[in-house]
C-alpha cells in the first residue's frame, strides 16, 4: 500500500511504470544547439558591421597620428596634430561659433517646435493642412532652402534688405557683415529644424491624458503652472532625446553653413566641421583635420552621456 502511494505521487499507475520523466539533458542540448545556430547565423552580419564601422575609425586614428595628406599617410607624429589644433586660434574661433550655433539651433528649434505642437493640440481650422505646411522646411532639400534664403538676403537688391531700406532702416548686408551672418545662419538653422522638434514634441504630447489638465484646472492651476508642472515633466524623456539628436545634427551640420555662407565672412560662420573640411580638402592637412573630427566626436559623446543620464532620471521619476 505504501509503495502504491509513493508511485501515485510520482505519477506512476499501480499497474505499470507510468510516464517516464522528461529528459532535461535533451532539452539543454537543443537549447545549446539553437544558440550555436543563432551565433553562426549572426556572425557574418556582426563581422560586416565591425568592418564597415571599425575600419574607417581605425584608419582615421592612424591619420590623426601621422603627418600626411590625402594620398600618403606620412610619418608618425603622435599627438602633435592634437596639440597643434588645440593651440590654433582658428580652431577656438570655430569652436565658439559651433557652441553658439548649437545652443541656438537646439533650444531655438525646440521652443518653436514645442509651441507649435501645443498649438496643434487646439482646435484650429485646417489643422491638417497647417501640419503639412509646417513640415515643408524640413522636407524641402537643404540645397533648395539655402538657395531661397540666399535670394532673400544675399545682396542689397534682395527682398529683405530692400524691405529694410523702404522702412528707413538702412540696407543691412546679412551675409557680408560678420555679426549679421552669424544671426542669419542661426535663424536659418532654427527654420529648417523646428519641424523635427515639432514632431517629437507632438508625439510626446499625444501620450499625455487630457484629464490631467482638467484635474489641475479644478485644483486652481493656471496655464503657466500646468505647462511647467505637468507638460514639461511628462515630455521630459522625449525632450532630452530630441536635444541629443539635435545637438548631433547641429555640430555635424555642414551643408547648412557651407551652402549659405561658405563659412564667411572672415570665418565668422566657420564651424568645426567646416574647419575640418577646409583643413583636409583645401589645405590638404589630413592629420589636423581628422584630429578636429575626433575632438568633435569626444565632445558629442560627453554631451550625449550627460543628457542620457537626465533621460534615466526622468524615467525613474
State residue 271's pLDDT score: 94
Q: What is the mean pLDDT of the chain?
A: 85
pLDDT, tens only, 238-274: 888 899 999 999 999 999 999 999 898 889 999 999 9
pLDDT band at 20 (very low <50, low <70, confident <90, very high): low
The pLDDT tens digits of the residues spanning 69-108 come to 888 888 888 899 999 999 999 999 999 999 999 999 999 9
CA distances from 59 to 44, 101, 119, 309 (A): 22, 30, 49, 31
pTM: 0.81
Q: How far apart are the first and last CA of the chain?
A: 62
For 305, the 3-state DSSP assignment is helix
C-alpha cell belonging to residue 17: 511504470
The DSSP element (H or E) to which 67 belongs, if any, is strand 66-67
Residue of 126 and 16 predicted with greater confidence: 126
Q: What is the pLDDT of residue 233?
A: 86
Residue with cell 484635474: 215
Cβ-defined contacts of 102-108 (< 8 Å, 24+) = 102/247, 102/250, 102/251, 104/186, 104/189, 104/190, 105/186, 105/189, 105/190, 105/193, 105/246, 105/249, 105/250, 105/253, 106/243, 106/246, 106/247, 106/250, 108/186, 108/189, 108/190, 108/194
Angle between the N-to-C axes of helices 142-153 and 159-166, in degrees from 0 to 180, rounded to the nearest 10: 30
Q: What is the DSSP letter of 19?
A: S
**Ramachandran sector of residue 264 (left: φ over 0; alpha: ψ -120 to 50; beta: rest):** beta
pLDDT tens readout for residues 145-197: 999 999 999 888 889 999 988 888 888 888 889 999 999 999 999 999 999 99
CATH architecture of 81-316: Orthogonal Bundle (1.10)
286 and 81 Cβ atoms separated by less than 8 Å: no
CA distances from 186 to 112, 239, 261 (A): 14, 20, 12
C-beta contacts of 275-281 below 8 A and 24+ residues apart: 275/90, 275/91, 275/94, 280/70, 281/70
Amino acid at each position: 500500500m505504501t509503495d502504491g502511494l509513493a508511485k501515485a505521487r510520482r505519477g506512476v499507475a499501480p499497474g505499470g511504470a507510468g510516464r517516464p520523466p522528461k529528459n532535461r539533458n535533451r532539452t539543454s542540448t537543443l537549447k545549446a544547439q539553437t544558440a550555436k545556430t543563432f551565433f553562426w547565423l549572426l556572425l557574418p552580419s556582426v563581422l560586416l558591421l565591425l568592418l564597415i564601422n571599425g575600419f574607417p575609425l581605425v584608419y582615421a586614428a592612424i591619420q590623426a597620428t601621422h603627418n600626411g595628406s590625402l594620398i600618403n599617410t606620412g610619418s608618425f607624429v603622435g599627438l602633435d596634430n592634437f596639440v597643434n589644433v588645440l593651440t590654433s586660434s582658428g580652431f577656438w574661433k570655430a569652436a565658439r561659433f559651433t557652441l553658439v550655433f548649437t545652443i541656438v539651433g537646439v533650444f531655438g528649434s525646440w521652443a518653436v517646435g514645442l509651441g507649435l505642437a501645443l498649438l496643434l493640440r487646439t482646435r484650429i481650422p485646417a489643422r491638417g493642412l497647417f501640419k503639412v505646411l509646417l513640415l515643408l522646411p524640413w522636407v524641402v532639400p537643404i540645397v533648395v532652402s539655402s538657395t531661397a534664403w540666399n535670394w532673400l538676403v544675399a545682396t542689397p537688391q534682395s527682398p529683405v534688405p530692400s524691405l529694410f531700406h523702404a522702412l528707413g532702416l538702412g540696407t543691412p548686408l546679412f551675409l557680408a557683415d560678420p555679426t549679421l551672418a552669424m544671426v542669419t545662419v542661426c535663424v536659418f538653422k532654427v527654420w529648417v529644424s523646428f519641424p523635427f522638434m515639432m514632431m517629437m514634441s507632438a508625439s510626446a504630447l499625444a501620450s499625455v491624458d487630457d484629464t490631467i489638465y482638467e484635474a489641475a484646472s479644478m485644483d486652481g492651476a493656471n496655464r503657466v503652472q500646468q505647462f511647467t508642472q505637468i507638460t514639461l515633466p511628462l515630455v521630459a524623456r522625449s525632450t532630452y532625446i530630441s536635444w541629443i539628436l539635435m545637438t548631433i545634427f547641429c555640430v555635424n551640420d555642414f551643408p547648412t553653413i557651407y551652402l549659405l555662407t561658405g563659412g564667411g565672412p572672415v570665418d565668422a560662420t566657420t564651424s568645426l566641421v567646416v574647419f575640418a573640411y577646409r583643413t583636409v580638402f583645401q589645405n590638404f592637412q589630413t592629420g589636423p583635420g581628422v584630429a578636429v573630427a575626433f575632438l568633435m566626436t569626444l565632445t558629442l559623446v560627453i554631451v550625449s552621456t550627460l543628457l542620457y543620464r537626465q533621460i534615466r532620471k526622468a524615467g525613474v521619476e
